[in-house]
Amino acid sequence: MPCLRALHEHHEVALVVSQPDRPAGRGGQLTAPAVKLAAQQLGLPVIQPRSARTGELRDALVASGADLAVVVAYGKILPKPVLEALPRGCINVHASLLPRYRGAAPVQWAVIHGETETGVSIMQLDEGMDTGPVLLERRVAIGPAETSGELLARLAPIGAAALLDALSAIAAGTAQPAAQDHPRATHAPMLAKTDGMIDFAKPAAEVASRIRGVDPWPGAQAMLRGQPVKLFRAQVAPPAPVAAGMAAPSAARVAAASQGPGTVLAIDAGGARVACADGSVVIAELQLPGRKRLAVSQLASGRAIAAGDLLTRPEPA
């Protein structure tokens, strides 16, 4: 919770608003959200309204005496009475370069779509979905092998620092909100389990980006020898070298290049090279059902995967 901790360190936090506790895990045990636990550790008051539209949230904000509300991944669109409850309104920390990737999963879709850059935007909230004017932004390059989980973790402290800068500008009266270019907007809806089903008939760059973008949730999924497996650490494979005098690769380790998408063409220390529509990807790690995540080379040693195997897209339930 970098934003909450930064606010606690540099400002007076009058109230923390959290989603309600929800069942989690196989036992369905009622579990508190991470922000509630962090607030309790910091000794901050917490409320957990079930709805933002009943008046409970607005009344609590007014009673808190705060000047401004900061929203970070709250997951609900706030109604006008809530947005106007405090003198300076509400600002939001959003993990994209607005107007691109408005919505619940901006980091995941940026990685899935193969973007090379993203960032954090601090914006004034209005009644739309991430449509308010932007106070400032911080741009960040996306690493070629970076997963959405890794990128989210890297953006969190950047967002906290940007939030403090925005608050300083608001307090000094120097903030300059800029209206978004709405026709350029793209959307980033919440991911579904089916978004992790990998189709190797797509271009290699698209396959690799999707495997990284759905990590850690819902996870990239394929079928191998009739059982579901999860795929990790994918990158586009470089073109296979072709040179005069080169020794032919071992038939036991390399499948025929004429095999279709999803065919495991080769396995080495770097992972499994899998055919796609226009090339191949290297997948470094796999997870078999009920097993821990392992390097593909380890699984190949135990014959759980081999050149010539076929990875196919799971059928939706």
CATH number 3.10.25.10 given to 193-240+248-312: yes
Q: What is the pLDDT of residue 241?
A: 64
Chunked mean pLDDT (size 10), the chain, 317 residues: 95 96 86 94 95 93 97 92 96 98 97 98 95 97 97 98 98 96 97 97 98 98 97 92 49 52 96 96 97 96 95 89
Distance CA 221, CA 97 (A): 29
Q: What is the pLDDT of residue 247?
A: 47
Distance CA 210, CA 203 (A): 11
CATH hierarchy code of domain 2-93+122-135+150-175: 3.40.50.170
Dihedral sign, Cα of residue 164, residue 165, residue 166, residue 168: positive
Characterize the bridge pairing of strands 90-94 and 69-72. Answer: parallel
Place of tokens 């850690």: 216
CB-based burial of residue 234 (10 Å sphere; 0-12 exposed, 13-18 middle, 19+ buried)? buried
Place of tokens 């953006």: 155
Q: What single-letter DSSP state applies at residue 25?
A: T
Distance CA 83, CA 127 (A): 8
Q: Prior bond to 177 cis, omega within 30?
A: no
Does residue 197 contact residue 314 with C-beta atoms inside 8 Å? yes
Does residue 266 contact residue 273 with C-beta atoms inside 8 Å? yes
Going from N- to C-terminal start, the domains of the chain cover 2-93+122-135+150-175, 193-240+248-312
Q: What single-letter DSSP state applies at residue 184?
A: G
For 228, phi then psi, to 5°, come to -75, 140
Paired strand residues for 93: 72, 122
* Integer-rounded Cα radius of gyration of the chain: 24
Q: What is the pLDDT of residue 75?
A: 85
Place of tokens 């309790």: 40
Q: What is the pLDDT of residue 254?
A: 45
Dihedral sign, Cα of residue 37, residue 39, residue 40, residue 42: positive
- The pair of three-digit structure tokens given for residue 14, joined into one six-digit string: 């009058």
* Alpha carbons within 13 A on the beta-carbon side of 134: 20
Q: What is the pLDDT of residue 301?
A: 92
Place of tokens 């759905």: 214
Distance CA 137, CA 160 (A): 12
